[in-house]
Structure 1
């Protein structure tokens, strides 16, 4: 029977299996324990599908790439901290990309069933947690703080669950979801990705959903960003949309962020839809978002950067107050933005008037 050295194994189960002539020990899920001064990456590389890599409290200066399906990478809470390595020469594509933890599939096959949980990722030049080509990735109870671009980011992936995380003071979005950022393409179907119960604070944007369909952003607390939620489409087909933004608490996102190549300066935006279709925005509490940007306001419909209109979106049952220049802002005209509806919202001021 395999010796249990650095690895903690449920040895009783293995002995029972051996005594009964059952499945070999290699089929038993193992927990690989990593202590300060040891390499998380080495433990990940040694793990097999179904195993857990448990990272004990401490600070670990490295980037970690996961490509084993069914693997769980787990800390013990915020006291498990992953930071960039001070070494200049890094033999790790995750580190080379400026990311902390990467979960990466291939162009031919998504990596399935990976979990990243219960740890802090901070100080990376790009993303705290970055994933691409994943199926069923869970990111849970992760604290992503002061990363250069995104706190938690996911591209070209399906069935994701991003739940119960804190993303704070990241350079761009606290949580960023996209089809792809490197090529032009129509919106992709995420097949039910869920972004829920996260706390997003002090970022440029709390949650960005870019060129995606079929997902939910729900029950998040979003405050102190330059903008709360952005759902972004463009001229490609299909449009971004056919998704839900509901039951979020979006309060005082009044930081000021400068203009970028593709976006006006941001301040005081609660929820912005730009170039989208069939988005349901429902039952959110949106209050105290105030600014002088063209995108400022509680819930805002706005043409995309390339002039694509928003169509067939439903803004229903939201509670809005003290947003400026207005609680509801629709920059689309009847001739451009077709069949957008505003029903049952509790609000004080709208632009144009008559939507409250």
Structure 2
């Protein structure tokens, strides 16, 4: 006679136990979860976390595969580090997308993609972050697009330690950073296409191999009201330090007071076999400056098959750089466009479609003008 009572008790307990709600393919913050991190932790693979306007004082770490974090209003969905948290969003899972939001005031990066494959960062505003706006490190098969970075004390956009990378950086604006775009050991199917890197201290730098830089505007990189890097570089457009076998085509590189293109060594590794084609390099302090190592001079760095730089060059000039300002004192970014409805374009680089840009490329998104 005791077994039925026990069975009834089990049924009663089961009926009273809480059940996990079916969150579906879309989770809303703060309607369902008060923080973005709580929604990310509860999300299943393939879900989308939709974030309503508000200031979210948190750092978000994504470890769920195929997750999308999407803000409803780019300038009003703000992840604020309050100059006390390291990163805004850390992507540590494959096939994660971050879309249509703002990350600001972090001690490291606004968005940090680490050891992830198939990532996508689209229509993100990253301002006043102490190191990088958007950083991809040891990450492959990704896209960084239509985003804006300012106030970075290292680089607005940074890609590093991926070989082969298969990463596309396209349609972005970087201004008021120490460096607009920086690549360190980012080689093999690395594409930097149709960006505006103007109004920084330095426009672009790379030490990479087999990368394509096509259709970019790299101009007026002498912005005093920006954070300074430790090495104090200032006034340069595009610096290649020991990089080799890169394609630099159809870029407008202008009005950089130090040099438009600076070819230098990285340690004793010289720049070598870099191909420049159909660029407009004009109005710079020195249009092309070659400074290879005396221990290992470079070779075959050719500009439109007319000027080739081989052997030893002059040392890079010491610029009298202005002091710079703290990252969190850089002016707020201008309003940026919202992500359009519908699917985003695929990640195919398609470098052939990028033509020589005009000097007003993305002027509507920029605060620093020529």
Band the TM-score falls in, shorter-chain normalisation: 0.7 to 0.9
- Give the one of 287, 291, 298 matched to 2:260: 298
Root mean square deviation, CA, Å: 2.5
> C-alpha separation between the residues in 1 aligned to 2:194 and 2:82?
35
1:339 aligns with 2:313: no
1:82 aligns with 2:56: no
Secondary structure in 2 matching 1:311 = coil
Query: Any gaps of 5 or more consecutive residues in structure 1?
Result: 10-29, 89-94, 105-110, 180-187, 233-239, 291-295
Query: Any gaps of 5 or more consecutive residues in structure 2?
Result: 1-18, 308-312, 315-370
Secondary structure in 1 matching 2:45 = coil
> C-alpha separation between the residues in 2 aligned to 1:190 and 1:112?
16
Report what 2:204 is aligned to.
Answer: 229
Q: Cα distance, 1:191 vs. partner?
A: 3.6
- Give the one of 151, 168, 189 matched to 1:169: 151
1:32 aligns with 2:27: yes
> C-alpha separation between the residues in 1 aligned to 2:22 and 2:65?
22
Q: Cα distance, 1:258 vs. partner?
A: 5.1
**Structure in which a larger fraction of residues adopt strand:** 1
Report what 2:90 is aligned to.
Answer: 102
148 and 157 in structure 1: CA distance in 2 versus 1, 3 angstrom threshold: same
Q: Which has the higher contact order (CA 8 A, sep 6+)?
A: 2
Report what 2:172 is aligned to.
Answer: 198
Report what 2:335 is aligned to.
Answer: none
Report what 2:16 is aligned to.
Answer: none
329 and 173 in structure 1: CA distance in 2 versus 1, 3 angstrom threshold: same
145 and 210 in structure 1: CA distance in 2 versus 1, 3 angstrom threshold: same
> C-alpha separation between the residues in 2 aligned to 1:190 and 1:140?
22
31 and 299 in structure 1: CA distance in 2 versus 1, 3 angstrom threshold: same
323 and 49 in structure 1: CA distance in 2 versus 1, 3 angstrom threshold: same
Q: Cα distance, 1:132 vs. partner?
A: 0.7
Report what 1:135 is aligned to.
Answer: 117
> C-alpha separation between the residues in 2 aligned to 1:124 and 1:259?
17
Secondary structure in 1 matching 2:246 = strand
Q: How many residues align?
A: 286
What TM-score do the two structures reach when normalised by structure 1?
0.75
> C-alpha separation between the residues in 2 aligned to 1:131 and 1:160?
10
Deviations 1:293-317 (A, max 9, x none): xxx311110112x232111111211
